[in-house]
Amino acid sequence: MKVEELYRRDLNLLVALQVLVEERSVSRAAARLNLSQSAMSRVLGRLRSLLGDPLFTRQGQNLVPTEKALSMSSALDEPIGSLKQLLSPIDFDPRSCDQTFTIVTTDYAMQTILPFALPRIYQEAPNVAFEFLPLQDEHLKEQLTYGRADLAICHPIYSIEPLQYGGLGRVGVSCLLSKQHPLAHKQMCLDDYLNFPHAMIAISDGVKSLIERALEDKPKRRMVLRAYHLEAALAIVDMMPLIITVPADLAHLVSERYDLIVKPLPFHFTSFDYSMIWHPRCEHSPAQEWLRSVVKEECGKLIAKRVVEMGLDTEADAMAPPD
Helix (H, G, I), strand (E, B) or coil at 101: strand
For 230-237, the CB contacts below 8 A with 24+ separation are: 230/107, 230/111, 230/201, 230/203, 230/254, 232/199, 232/201, 233/199, 233/201, 234/258, 236/199, 237/176, 237/177, 237/178, 237/199
CA distances from 289 to 37, 57, 59 (A): 43, 51, 53
CA 190/CA 62 separation, integer angstroms: 92
CATH code: domain 173-264 is 3.40.190.10
CA count, 13 A, side-chain hemisphere, 251: 23
CA distances from 68 to 5, 30, 170 (A): 22, 21, 68
3-86 and 173-264: same fold?
A: no
CA 252/CA 302 separation, integer angstroms: 14
Q: How far is CA 32 from the centre of its chain?
A: 40
CATH architecture of residue range(s) 94-167+277-305 = 3-Layer(aba) Sandwich (3.40)
Tell whether omega for the bond before 247 is within 30 degrees of 0, i.e. cis: no
Cβ atoms of 312 and 303 closer than 8 Å: no
Nearest to 251 by CA among 241, 238, 261: 261
Cβ atoms of 205 and 157 closer than 8 Å: yes
Domain boundaries, given as residue ranges, for the chain: 3-86, 94-167+277-305, 173-264
CA distances from 101 to 149, 165, 167, 199 (A): 8, 17, 20, 32
CA angle 192, 196, 200 (to 5 degrees): 115
pLDDT by 10s per residue, the chain, length 323: 565 666 666 788 989 999 999 899 999 999 999 999 999 999 999 999 989 999 999 988 889 999 999 998 888 888 887 887 777 666 789 999 999 999 998 878 887 788 888 999 999 999 999 999 988 888 888 999 887 789 999 888 788 888 999 988 888 888 999 999 999 999 999 999 999 999 888 665 567 778 888 888 899 899 998 887 788 888 999 899 999 998 888 888 888 888 999 999 999 888 788 889 999 988 888 999 999 999 998 887 777 777 676 665 443 333 334 44
Q: What is the largest CA-CA distance in the chain?
A: 103
| pTM more than 0.75 | no
Cβ atoms of 145 and 139 closer than 8 Å: no
CA 157/CA 138 separation, integer angstroms: 8
Q: What is the pLDDT of residues 113-143, one digit of tens each?
A: 888 889 999 999 999 999 999 888 888 889 9
CATH architecture of residue range(s) 3-86 = Orthogonal Bundle (1.10)
